[in-house]
Chain A
Amino acid sequence: MTSYTMSNRVKPKSLLIHAVMIVCCILFIFPFLWMALTSFKTPQEIFQWPPRMFPKEWSFSNYQEVLTAVPLLRMLLNSLFVAVAVTAGTLLFSSLAAYSFARLRFKGKDLLFSMYLGTMMVPLMVTLIPTFVIMRKLGMVDTYYALIVPGFFGNAFGTFLLRQFFMTIPRQLDEAARIDGCGYFGIYSRILMPLMKPALASLFIFTFMGVWNDFLWPLVVIQTESVKTITLGLASFQGLYTTKYHLLMAAAMISVLPVLVAYISSQRYFIEGITLTGLKG
């Protein structure tokens, strides 16, 4: 009843809210739209003043030129490969460690766990140089290994996050499974992991996005074009074609489009995944 009368009363107010929100949306969407439109324009149209909203003729020649200059599609595949590998490793190893922290008793557990928490505060810049030196010693610089290995074994944040979720599952489930003759690994893989799906999905999105968008680490360890990830590839493309905005926008389109498609098809999971990760983390 109350909500009915309220929604009647706030009609003009909700109109105002819609107006504000539509302006907001334009502000957040227009840059991407402008990128898309520019990517189909000719160099002459770029220099035209006043600028035209839509290209006179939609041409794909910018894309052709970009793709022959820099192997951006290869770089997209590199990003995909690296992100899938790191995310798979993180989900497996962080969930195993998280299960251990949440359920099993062993000496030094509390100490180890506080060490994990402590490292979460250390900025990447502190570990960057020594990690680079280690990768050099291992001879992995400028290879896929450099991009995958440091993140492959999971991280403190992922372990911490999943531990929090394991803690919310009642222990009676473990005990019942034990009585039925289930071992520790069986409890982890057959009883608890199926219940962890929402948490795992959140960590999946969080980790995948983090690796896909990572820039500083690839910048430091990769020089070879064919090993570069898409973010690094786009940055070096920008270094070469600083002011050729028609080409830059086509390159940016290629880097943004896969993410955009994934986002539009599953934005609810994106947002809920990030929110869940944020609230528990």
Chain B
Amino acid sequence: MSKSKANNKKKSMAESAYGYLFIAPNLLGMLVFVIVPIFTSLLMSFTDWDLINAPRWVGLSNFTDKMVHDQQFWVSLKNTFVFSLLTIPLGIAVAFVIALLLNQSIKGVNLYRAAIFLPVGISMISISVIWRWILNTDLGILNYVLSLVNLQGAGWLSDEKYALFSVSAISIWKSVGFNMVILLAGLKGVPSHLYEAATIDGAGAWRRMTRITLPLITPSLFFVSIMSVIGSFQVFDLIYSTTSGGPGDSTRVIYYWVYQNGFKFFEMGYASALAWVVFIMLFAVTLLQMKFFGNKVNYEMD
């Protein structure tokens, strides 16, 4: 009896030892490159530091003084919100329509899906290089096509009026494929007998959509909207390689402003403070989304 108890104890000790051992490398990486940086970043946000001289403790003044009076911060915040409001609803809506069309029993679905998904796998830098050429004011193919139908072209990326809309359009173009495959997988999970039953009960297309399709794909919609918010708050590569925040301040988004403060002006303290503000806002928006979707999420039925 006591022998088996001792045996059990030995066994569970061995199990713990292996548990820690297997986790160790991953945990070490997490500690050094994620956990420690998170707390360091929080500390840094209360300092003034240029990487060369010793950091100077400035308390909350990065937030209460510097940020409040930083015109560029408010502009970049506004631009980030406009960018998000343009890209998230449209990006999801377009993807949803395409997913609905591809969920019909037609030939060539895989081919269409592959074509629309293509930009998802290509780097944002390559895509920006390509679109700068297409949207070029004087030589771009878009303005040429517009001239064929007697429309006036524009400086899509060089005019303050259009630049933010243009980068939003590029962003939607790149991410539609991702949203589409997630939503399509959601649609495929809706059991077809529900539609048949609803049709027999005399439900029209609109009722089937609002009473069956939408409620049952809420998990996919939730996931896609979370990913879209995260992506649009953190847009950087696209801005860096198309407009560098210009013309004027018209496309300067918050992430770009953090980058500039950190790695162009070497204001490490202030950049960290900005990064934390982005983090807190992102966190708040995510909580809001969870609340919004929370009581609507329905899980697949059998």
Contacts and interface: CB of A to CB of B under 8 A. Distances in A.
A109 B16 CA distance: 10
A275 B101 CA distance: 18
Contacts of A252: 126, 129-130
A245 B18 contact: no
A126 B126 contact: no
Given A29-B118, A104-B15, A130 B237 contact: no
Nearest to A215: B237
Given A35-B133, A121-B286, A152 B22 contact: no
Interface of B: 12, 14-16, 18-20, 22-23, 25-30, 32-38, 40-41, 44, 51, 98, 101-102, 104-106, 108, 110-127, 129-134, 136, 139, 141, 144, 173, 177-178, 181-182, 185, 196, 220, 223, 227, 230, 233-234, 236-237, 240-241, 255, 258-259, 262-263, 268, 271-272, 275-276, 278-279, 282-283, 286
Interface secondary structure of A, over-half rule: helix
A215 B15 CA distance: 41
With a 10 A CB-CB cut-off, give which of B34, B139, B227 has the most chain A CB atoms: B34
A103 to B, nearest CB: 9
Interface string A228-258: 0011001100100000010011011001100
A216 B259 contact: yes
22 contacts: A31-B134, A35-B133, A105-B15, A106-B19, A106-B20, A107-B16, A115-B35, A125-B258, A126-B38, A128-B275, A129-B37, A130-B37, A133-B51, A184-B18, A188-B22, A213-B123, A230-B123, A231-B125, A234-B129, A252-B130, A278-B181, A279-B220
Contacts of A94: 26
Contacts of B276: 126
B38 A25 contact: no
B28 A153 contact: yes
A212 B237 CA distance: 14
Given A51-B139, A104-B22, A127-B38, A152 B101 contact: no
B134 to A, nearest CB: 6
B34 A34 contact: no
Interface string A95-138: 01101110011110100100110010111111111110110000
B132 to A, nearest CB: 8
Contacts of A128: 262, 275
B134 A153 contact: no
Contacts of A131: 33, 37
A46 interface: yes
A119 B116 contact: no
A155 B283 CA distance: 20
B121 A209 contact: yes
Contact of A14 (B106, B114, B115): B106
A255 B126 contact: yes
Contacts of A119: 30, 34-35, 38
Given A25-B112, A125-B234, A274 B178 contact: yes
Contact of B136 (A134, A245, A278): A245
A54 to B, nearest CB: 13
A104 B170 CA distance: 46
Contact of B114 (A107, A109, A184, A271): A271
A156 interface: yes
Given A130-B40, A279-B223, A235 B125 contact: yes
A122 B38 contact: yes
B26 A2 contact: no
Interface in A194-212: 209, 212
A113 to B, nearest CB: 10
B272 A129 contact: yes
Contacts of A7: 105
A121 B275 CA distance: 13
A17 B101 contact: yes
Nearest to A29: B115
Given A134-B36, A213-B124, 16 more contacts: A25-B111, A29-B115, A31-B127, A107-B16, A119-B34, A122-B34, A126-B38, A126-B276, A130-B38, A184-B18, A235-B125, A249-B130, A271-B114, A275-B185, A279-B182, A279-B220
A112 B22 CA distance: 13
A24 interface: yes
Interface string A32-75: 10110010000000110111000000000000000000000000
